[in-house]
Structure 1
Amino acid sequence: MKLYHFSEESDITLFEPRTIYNQTDAKVWTIDAYHAAHYFFPRECPRVCVWTKEDAEELILAREFGITSTQRMIAIESDWYDRVREGHIYRYTFEDERFELENEDAGYYTSKCTVRPIAVERMDDLIGAILKEDIEFRVMPSLMPLKQKVLESNVQFSMIRMRNAKE
């Protein structure tokens, strides 16, 4: 299995463990292939990602969110659309042997050791990359109504950089 880290920086040769938020342990964070598309965005872009874990949840997505032909959806705010459309990021690839599963639902893997990526690739056409993953891509004036609806539902979700979303 390959793991990934996404950055706007192109020249990271070593990933050192660091402390984020209120964690006590310094870690290097990566994401699995299934959840990687949640990070096909400029770092500060707020987004809401929803997906199904089981077939029964597809009905919830269709009913609650109007998703009809996919099991996954990512929404951003319209103010971020041009930055995503015109932007690029770098995908760093890692072998999984130095990482441990941190959160299965979110696809997070961490390492407490310094790690070296085995590859780095520039990603242009971020929207195209999302669509190739069979993910419904939505652009909304504000993510707040969707955030509330997601929190009231039983779907799998990830809300990233919501501190940058419109109130």
Structure 2
Amino acid sequence: MKLFHFSEDPNITYFETHVPKTNSKEQPFVWAIDEGHAPHYYFPRECPRVAFWSSSETTDDDLNRFFGHTSVNRIIAIETSWLKRIRETQLYAYKLPSETFECHDANAGYYASRTAVTPLSVEPVGDLLERLVQTNIELRITPSLWKLRDEIINSSVSFSIIRMRNASI
């Protein structure tokens, strides 16, 4: 299993466990994302985004509603105001050893380690939009994510909603 951490900092030599700022009741972990969900993180860290995909749980109505006009089964939506920053961001992919990680949320691809981790390697991601194109994931750019978010969370599609606290009102 390949696990990753994405950062705009190319000089991380050690990942310490920490409690997420957004969930102070959580235990301290080192967080990682699996390879299948890694494209959800081909963005600047603070960029709000809504990723959604079909699964065996997705109803025919929702398949038609969200995917009836595209040939992909995974879509990531961002806000228009973030496009320039995405184009300018230098992002780095840290490959992490999987031995100490446990699945925390299979749907979102989140893994957590209770112990500090030394990365195995770090590589620049390169042009973020080009990397997304290579994954066969549709990228949607919209002025606001809120209506889409509301539709997604009330549907049968699988989803990961990231950094919505930074979304436009």
* 2:8 maps to 1:8: yes
Partner of 2:139: 137
Deviation at 1:151, TM superposition (A): 1.6
Q: For residues 50 and 3 of structure 2, what CA distance do their matches in structure 1 show?
A: 21
Within 5 Å, give how 1:1-167 maps onto structure 2. Answer: 1-20=1-20, 21-54=23-56, 60-64=62-66, 66-167=68-169
Deviation at 1:33, TM superposition (A): 0.4
Distance 1:66 1:124, change over 3 A: same
- Aligned AA (1:94): L
Return structure 1 stretches of 4+ with deviation > 4 angstroms: 55-59
Contact 1:91–1:123, Cα closer than 8 Å, also in 2: yes
TM-score (norm 1): 0.93
Q: For residues 84 and 62 of structure 1, what CA distance do their matches in structure 2 show?
A: 30
Secondary structure, aligned partner of 2:36 = coil
TM-score (norm 2): 0.92
What are the ranges of 5 or more consecutive residues in structure 2 without an aligned counterpart?
none
Q: For residues 57 and 45 of structure 2, what CA distance do their matches in structure 1 show?
A: 31
Per-residue deviation, residues 138-165 of structure 1 (Å, max 9, x unmatched): 1001111111111221100111110111
Q: For residues 107 and 24 of structure 1, what CA distance do their matches in structure 2 show?
A: 17
- Corresponding residue pairs, total: 167
Deviation at 1:65, TM superposition (A): 5.3
What are the ranges of 5 or more consecutive residues in structure 1 without an aligned counterpart?
none
Per-residue deviation, residues 112-161 of structure 1 (Å, max 9, x unmatched): 11110101011121011112111000100111111111122110011111
Percent of paired sites with the same residue: 46
Contact 2:94–2:122, Cα closer than 8 Å, also in 1: yes
Deviation at 1:66, TM superposition (A): 4.7
- Aligned AA (2:152): V
Aligned-CA RMSD value: 1.7
- Aligned AA (2:122): V
